[in-house]
Structure 1
Amino acid sequence: MCARLVVSVHDVAPASAAETERWCADADRFGIPVSLLVIPGPWRGRRLADEPDYAACLRERRQAGDDVLVHGWSHRAGPEGDRPRRAVAHAVARGAAEFAAIDVGTATVKLRAATEVMIEAGLPTTGFTPPGWLASPGAKQALRAAGFTYTTSHFGAEQLRTGRRFHGFALSHRPGGGWSERFGAALLETAARRTAERGGLVRLALHPDDLSRPGLRDTTLRAIDAVLRTGAHAITYRQLVGSAVD
């Protein structure tokens, strides 16, 4: 069975335009598409709605074959949820798990705002990846009600209409220095190659902050190269979940 590779670029927003461009250029050199996870709301002092030129760049990427998904609203977790759920979300996503503990009403408001911005930017989509890959039951309910048709978690992608799941753990770096960063980088490269050799689904998640750490980009590029050398087919999340999202 031929392995499949999904490369996603996270935290796509005006404030990370340079980093996104660099990751996309790397993908272009491999000749593979990427799934762009867009933060439509305020993030690091800038908003997609205020920068139509950047929205135009994203439209060009999609027209060339990339996927576009909503990646939360502001990518910042609030005070919602009980203490254990907030603690887990903070440990996993470092304060970015915006949808991890919210109720259906709060999620509905955020999704409505995100959808309006994406439509106004000419980037309508029914794909959603929650920040930190964490979504509460209420958030999942709101996604379905809002018309989203596919989403992702740490463990794979899901068709929201049918419940069908596509299993594959999301591999990403954890910048911060020290042994954990080095161990994580080595694990990413090894796990990606071995999963591809078994014919599995390889998911590589690229973040703007990865580029601030020496060596992480090189490790990522080696991992992509190793996966492609096994004969893996590079696709987007929309292609992965297939026609059921239409």
Structure 2
Amino acid sequence: MAERFLALVLHDVSPATWPAYRDFLGEVDALSRRTGPIPITWLVVPEFHHGNDCRRDTAFRDRLDARLAAGDELALHGYYHCDDGPPPRTPRDYFMRRIYTVEGEFQALDESEALARLDAGIAMFGDFGWPLSGFVAPAWLMSPGTRRALAQRPLSYTSDPRSLYRLPAFTRVDAPGLVWSARSAWRRGMSRLVSTAQRRRHRTASLLRLGVHPIDMRYRGAHDYWLQTLAELIKQGRRPITKRDWLALQAE
């Protein structure tokens, strides 16, 4: 059987959300000392909710520098991670931007605004000396203008919940992901059921992504689910890898 992989992906990473991940990260690092390296893909938001500017927090940058040195990957995750675009105009748009999520920053942007935010994020990575291969839109929502903008910039991939896409052509690569919606008890219960079913369905997938969010860390059940799932998948033979490195292996 071909080797199988898993990618641990931490979303919404910023100075404001770092404390939420602290305990979980310590447990992942403890697990890695027993099982071998567990590289992480960190989805970094430059100015989370128009505040928490990464440029102004030296300690935060030092922590991510250390993670890079240990073999982790940093990817660009929007710029503000909040939807401040024009008001929704259609029922579907309203559902996606006000019910499904209120953080779909790139869902309604035109090409010029998407380019401006991408360029600002790329510039920040460059200023910090952080290698940059991937961009992930908040809530995985991208307007046509965003897609055109991405095709013009030197990025290697983007993603949605089911796939990775090689840029600039948006060539699809199957890479299913597990993710929770943790805002309420019924959502957490449903997320557990859906994730369990998806894990069975995708048990032979080459790459399985674990998409963890800061809000998951508020609830012991969600926190424990991710840690237990990570440990079980490693025990079953999946090798932890970053998204960037997995795509490089597929190219070879």
TM-score after normalising by structure 1: 0.89
Match of 1:87 in 2: 95
Match of 1:226 in 2: 232
| Structure 2 segments unaligned to the other structure (5+ residues) | 33-37
Secondary structure at the residue paired with 1:99? Answer: coil
CA distance in 2, matches of 1:7, 1:21: 15
Match of 1:40 in 2: 46
Tell me: CA distance 1:149–1:194, structure 2 relative to 1, closer, same or farther (3 Å): same
Match of 1:161 in 2: 168
The one-character-per-residue Cα deviations of 1:157-202 (angstroms, maximum 9, x if unpaired) are 1110354322133211111233231121233245335523x24421
Q: How does 1:130-209 map to 2 (within 5 A)?
A: 130-192=137-199, 194-196=201-203, 198-209=204-215
Match of 1:60 in 2: 66
Match of 2:35 in 1: none
Q: Which of the numbers 83, 87, 110 marks the counterpart of 1:77?
A: 83
The amino acid of 2:132's aligned partner reads T
The amino acid of 1:130's aligned partner reads A
| Structure 1 segments unaligned to the other structure (5+ residues) | none
CA distance in 2, matches of 1:30, 1:59: 21
The amino acid of 2:95's aligned partner reads A
The amino acid of 2:29's aligned partner reads D
Identity of aligned residues (%): 25
1:111 paired to 2:112 = no
CA distance in 1, matches of 2:130, 2:191: 33
Match of 1:11 in 2: 12
Q: How does 1:122-133 map to 2 (within 5 A)?
A: 122-133=129-140
CA distance in 2, matches of 1:225, 1:190: 18
The amino acid of 1:46's aligned partner reads N
CA distance in 2, matches of 1:73, 1:207: 17
Secondary structure at the residue paired with 1:98? Answer: coil
Conserved? CA contact 1:90–1:97, under 8 Å = no
Match of 1:51 in 2: 57
CA distance in 2, matches of 1:126, 1:207: 21
Q: Which runs of 4+ in 1 moved over 4 A?
A: none
Conserved? CA contact 2:216–2:222, under 8 Å = yes
Name the Cα RMSD after superposition.
Answer: 2.1
The amino acid of 1:207's aligned partner reads H
TM superposition shift of 1:130: 0.5
TM superposition shift of 1:87: 2.6
